[in-house]
C-alpha cells in the first residue's frame, strides 16, 4: 500500500522526469489540473451508471458498470488532485493533515446533528 507521500513522489517523478515539466507553483497548471479532475469525474460517472435509476426514478433503467475503467478514472482524479496540490505548493503532509481535520469536523458536525434530531 502506498502512502500519500509516496504517491506525490511518484507523480512528481513522472511529471519532472518523464514529461519534462518542472513542478512549481503555477496558477495555469493548477487550473488545468482542476479541470482535469472535473473531466475525469464525468468519465468515472459514465463507467458506472447505476445511479441513473435512482436519480431519474425509473426502475429498470439501463445501466452499465465497467469496474476496471471506473477504477482507472478514479485513479486519474487522484493524479490530477496531486498535480493541483503540487502546482499550488501544497505538500502531501499538508493535504493529509487537511483530510484528517476535515474528517474530524464532519464527525463532530454529524454527531451534533444526531443529538439535535434525537432531542
98-109 tens-digit pLDDT: 999 999 999 988
CB atoms within 10 A of CB 83: 24
Q: Looking at per-residue confidence, does 42 or 49 come out higher?
A: 42
Q: Can you tell me the distance from the alpha carbon of 36 to that of 27, in angstroms, rounded to the nearest whole number? A: 14
Q: Cell numbers of 46, please?
A: 459514465
* Mean pLDDT value of segment 27-55: 94
Domain with 80 in it: 4-118
Query: What pTM did the predictor assign?
Result: 0.84
Query: Contact, 84 vs 58, CB < 8 A?
Result: no
Sign of CA dihedral 35, 36, 37, 43: positive
Banded model confidence at residue 116, pLDDT cuts 50, 70, 90: low
Give me the CATH number covering residue 87.
Answer: 1.10.287
Among 7-11, 23-27, 91-95, 108-112, which is the least confidently predicted range?
108-112
Judged against a pLDDT cut of 90, whether residue 72 lies above it is answered with yes
When divided into structural domains, the chain yields a total of 1
Amino acid at each position: 500500500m502506498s502512502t500519500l507521500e509516496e504517491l506525490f513522489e511518484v507523480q512528481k517523478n513522472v511529471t519532472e522526469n518523464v514529461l519534462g515539466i518542472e513542478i512549481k507553483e503555477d496558477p495555469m497548471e493548477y487550473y488545468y489540473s482542476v479541470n482535469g479532475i472535473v473531466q475525469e469525474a464525468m468519465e468515472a460517472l459514465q463507467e458506472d451508471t447505476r445511479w441513473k435509476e435512482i436519480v431519474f426514478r425509473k426502475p429498470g433503467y439501463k445501466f452499465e458498470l465497467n469496474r476496471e475503467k471506473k477504477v482507472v478514472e478514479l485513479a486519474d482524479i487522484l493524479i490530477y488532485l496531486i498535480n493541483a496540490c503540487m502546482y499550488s505548493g501544497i505538500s502531501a503532509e499538508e493535504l493529509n493533515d487537511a483530510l484528517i481535520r476535515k474528517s474530524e469536523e464532519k464527525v463532530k458536525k454529524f454527531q451534533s446533528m444526531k443529538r439535535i434530531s434525537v432531542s
